Structure 1
Amino acid sequence: MTLLSNNSPKKSTFRFRPLLWINYVFIILLLFTQLTPIIAPDTLWPMTILALAFPLLLLINGLFVILWLITLKKYLFYSLLAIIFSYSLTLDHFQFRSSTPKVEDKEAITLFSFNAKNLSNNNFNRADKKIRMQIMSFTADKSADIVCFQEFQSYPTKGIHTVKEFKNQLGMKNSYAMPYLKKSKLKYIDLLVLYTNYNIKNSKDFYMDGKAYGFYVDLEVKGKTIRVFNLHLESNHFNTYDYQIFTEKEANLNSEKGHHIVWLLKKIKKYSVKRTHQARTIKEAIKQSPFPVIVLGDFNDTPASFIYQHISENMTDAFKIKGNGYGNTYNGELPPMRIDYALFKGDFEILNYQVLKPNLSDHYPLLIKFKLK
């Protein structure tokens, strides 16, 4: 009778079986993310969470490839194939280029887009001018031709007229400002704002349930008309208490925390469905435009989401042309993610793309150079 040795293949396989089953779970989840760009949240809202998890699922499968490579197991091909299958979504999140040399061109036009978080980097001392002045100075230094702000604020009851103040400091002739609420009774006014020296020929505002989520203006640029969208799609409305779920170090799950998690999921469901409707409206407006289109702003969704994929269809993402690395634009309490975008449709050539890193908001500003063909 022959006994199996301690190093027999069967015992070795049995030892790794629990890890293999865990690997299978993450492979399946990664493969399911391939459906997030085509299944809208108002059809199946959990796809929003799966889209958010894409970078993590990609990383975990990558770690399994390394694990099986070290242990000389053929199982590495399972995760490897799932990663290869996710190639398109991977390039929406990561760009692998050694460097992006700055291109100097006399015909270049510079865009600047920034979610400025109330011009105060908090929701409390909104009229505090310290951060506001830093944002104003930082923006002016970039000498952009078109400047778009989301979460801009004015404080007329305190005699602070920031729209005019920024316009003068930036040296711009024209501006377009749209209040988030059509009738604000607050001491401050939340705004979406665009500054430019180009002539503004036409404009349209987009509201849902009485709240703004974007506008477009038609600009006369070097003898041509281009349509520029400034968007701020519906957020998930997380508050300070909500963020504690993601930041607290203790992992214990009690009844209160369980109820809080359920409440957060309800928020994600509600507002991802709202963003879906907004994205469809914007998509149709882009489709109907008789002019070349530029879309700037905060989508509050990652590149794996239906929202980004729907709006960016048949458009050029400046990050994918000239960006580098992960492309994170978020500077808040959640994990890094790309939720701010610069998209182009028409005869444009992207020259440069940068995510700037001032610590002035829970977002990082975008600086893009392009030219008209």
Structure 2
Amino acid sequence: MKIVRFIFFIGHIGIALLLAATLLNAYVPPKTFPWFNLLSLGFPVLMIAYILLTLFWIISWKKRAFVFLLFGLMFFKPIIRWINYTPQKNETPDLKIISFNAKYGFSGKNKIEKFVDDQNADVVLLQEYGTNKKYHFNGMKEGPQSYVITIFTKHKIVEHKQLIKSDYIYNNAYVSHTDIEIRGKMYRFINVYLQPFKFKKNMVKLNGNSEEDEQKVKDVVKRLIPTFKMHQEQIIAIRKSIDESPYPVILAGDFNSVPNSYEYYHLLEGLQDAFVEAGRGSGTSFHDYKFPIRIDYIFSSPSVKPLSYKVDRSVKLSDHFPVIATFKTEK
């Protein structure tokens, strides 16, 4: 039993160090050292293993349990970026936003239109909307289209600018900002679709053959690392739009990045994560793999207060669930 406990102890320390390394994504860019960003993908599994081992030490009545408990407090904030529970807020919202990767409307344009119409939102940001599909949402007008992203709103569009546009070969990201006047006040909405990883299920599904599985892991890493570095470049244009905005900002979309990643930390700077402020349950929004992946977000300036955040798991029109948030704006 002593040998088992010793192995568990060494493993626990190793997991703690790996978890701590994910915190370095706030400081170390992927171009300098991409492996910290890679670790952020495994945060849920690492955290579950850490908690189970901590429980083992508690049940075993070992003093080291208190050390691991105290160390684990470092990860409270990272945890609630994945799974959270906030009390219901009693204030009345005056702004409702939907962000949804529609997977090019393969599940049916009419179904997407019905879902959006039923929500009665103020602003809808779509990614992978399907350039050959013309959506019609009740009472909403569409902003200028791009190949992958578009925005709809009930309110007045004042200005629109494409920040990042795909070149179809190296870069497949799209980002735009749209300044919208809502009840006499201006807001900047930034619709984000960062560089996708372009994985298919068979590329990441292990089949038990050690040689084939090893090659698959290597191939996955070969795709991940360059994409992380591309994200670092793409964030620059987004940060410029946020930092230079004369209006409160709502940043939403498919970031193709998980919480605790370099992308998350640097896009969140100066903003607030609506899920962290007002979410309940799991933030997982991409459901095509049997693994918790949160890559769809709605961030806002401090003056735009999140009151609710929902990942609508009843809507299976894509490999992403739509995310819906309500806000209270400053008068």
What's the counterpart of residue 176 of structure 1?
A: 143
**Which runs of 4 or more aligned residues in structure 1 lie more than 4 Å from their structure 2 counterparts after TM superposition?**
none
State the Cα RMSD in Å.
1.9
Q: Does the residue aligned with 2:85 lie in a helix, a strand or coil?
A: coil
Counterpart CA distance in 2 for 1:200 and 1:365 is: 23
Residue 277 of structure 1, aligned match among 233, 236, 257: 233
What's the counterpart of residue 299 of structure 2?
A: 343
Counterpart CA distance in 1 for 2:321 and 2:106 is: 14
Over 3 Å counting, the alpha-carbon distance change for 1:212 and 1:20 in structure 2 is closer
1:145 and 2:122 are equivalent in the alignment: yes
- Alpha carbons 2:201, 2:289 under 8 Å: kept: no
What's the counterpart of residue 226 of structure 1?
A: 187
TM-score w.r.t. the length of structure 2 is 0.92
Per the TM alignment, residue 280 of structure 1 is displaced from its structure 2 partner at its CA by: 2.1
Counterpart CA distance in 1 for 2:276 and 2:7 is: 38
How many pairs align?
A: 325
Over 3 Å counting, the alpha-carbon distance change for 1:348 and 1:209 in structure 2 is closer
- Alpha carbons 2:248, 2:303 under 8 Å: kept: yes
What's the counterpart of residue 258 of structure 1?
A: 214
Over 3 Å counting, the alpha-carbon distance change for 1:96 and 1:45 in structure 2 is same
1:201 and 2:155 are equivalent in the alignment: no
Counterpart CA distance in 1 for 2:321 and 2:213 is: 31
Counterpart CA distance in 2 for 1:82 and 1:252 is: 37
Counterpart CA distance in 2 for 1:72 and 1:350 is: 42
What's the counterpart of residue 48 of structure 2?
A: 59
Deviates more, 1:25-34 or 1:139-148: 25-34
Residue 120 of structure 1, aligned match among 103, 106, 110: 106
What's the counterpart of residue 100 of structure 1?
A: 88
Higher Cα Rg, which structure = 1
TM-score w.r.t. the length of structure 1 is 0.82
Counterpart CA distance in 1 for 2:265 and 2:95 is: 26
Counterpart CA distance in 2 for 1:15 and 1:44 is: 34
Over 3 Å counting, the alpha-carbon distance change for 1:243 and 1:371 in structure 2 is same
Counterpart of 1:96 in structure 2: which amino acid?
Y
- Alpha carbons 1:329, 1:365 under 8 Å: kept: yes
Per the TM alignment, residue 350 of structure 1 is displaced from its structure 2 partner at its CA by: 2.1
Counterpart CA distance in 1 for 2:41 and 2:150 is: 28
- Alpha carbons 1:103, 1:352 under 8 Å: kept: no
Q: Does the residue aligned with 1:337 lie in a helix, a strand or coil?
A: coil
Q: Does the residue aligned with 1:152 lie in a helix, a strand or coil?
A: coil
Counterpart CA distance in 1 for 2:234 and 2:4 is: 50
Per the TM alignment, residue 38 of structure 1 is displaced from its structure 2 partner at its CA by: 1.9
Counterpart CA distance in 1 for 2:166 and 2:3 is: 57
Q: Does the residue aligned with 2:22 lie in a helix, a strand or coil?
A: helix
- Alpha carbons 1:100, 1:323 under 8 Å: kept: no
Over 3 Å counting, the alpha-carbon distance change for 1:134 and 1:96 in structure 2 is same
Per the TM alignment, residue 14 of structure 1 is displaced from its structure 2 partner at its CA by: 4.2
- Alpha carbons 1:354, 1:367 under 8 Å: kept: yes
Counterpart CA distance in 1 for 2:213 and 2:127 is: 32
Counterpart CA distance in 2 for 1:235 and 1:285 is: 21
Over 3 Å counting, the alpha-carbon distance change for 1:137 and 1:336 in structure 2 is same
- Alpha carbons 1:217, 1:227 under 8 Å: kept: yes
Q: Does the residue aligned with 1:261 lie in a helix, a strand or coil?
A: helix
- Alpha carbons 2:22, 2:37 under 8 Å: kept: no
Residue 244 of structure 1, aligned match among 180, 205, 213: 205
Work out the percentage of aligned pairs sharing the same amino acid: 27
Deviates more, 1:79-88 or 1:221-230: 79-88
What's the counterpart of residue 158 of structure 1?
A: none
- Alpha carbons 1:236, 1:272 under 8 Å: kept: no
Alignment gaps of 5+ in structure 2: none
1:29 and 2:6 are equivalent in the alignment: no
Counterpart CA distance in 1 for 2:151 and 2:73 is: 41
What's the counterpart of residue 7 of structure 1?
A: none
Over 3 Å counting, the alpha-carbon distance change for 1:175 and 1:208 in structure 2 is closer
Counterpart CA distance in 1 for 2:183 and 2:14 is: 55
What's the counterpart of residue 68 of structure 1?
A: 57
Counterpart CA distance in 2 for 1:297 and 1:15 is: 46
Per the TM alignment, residue 43 of structure 1 is displaced from its structure 2 partner at its CA by: 1.2
Counterpart CA distance in 1 for 2:177 and 2:122 is: 16
Counterpart of 1:171 in structure 2: which amino acid?
G
Q: Does the residue aligned with 2:143 lie in a helix, a strand or coil?
A: strand
Q: Does the residue aligned with 1:179 lie in a helix, a strand or coil?
A: coil
- Alpha carbons 1:111, 1:147 under 8 Å: kept: yes
Over 3 Å counting, the alpha-carbon distance change for 1:326 and 1:79 in structure 2 is farther
What's the counterpart of residue 366 of structure 1?
A: 323
1:216 and 2:177 are equivalent in the alignment: yes
Counterpart CA distance in 2 for 1:102 and 1:353 is: 14
- Alpha carbons 1:33, 1:50 under 8 Å: kept: yes
What's the counterpart of residue 298 of structure 1?
A: 254
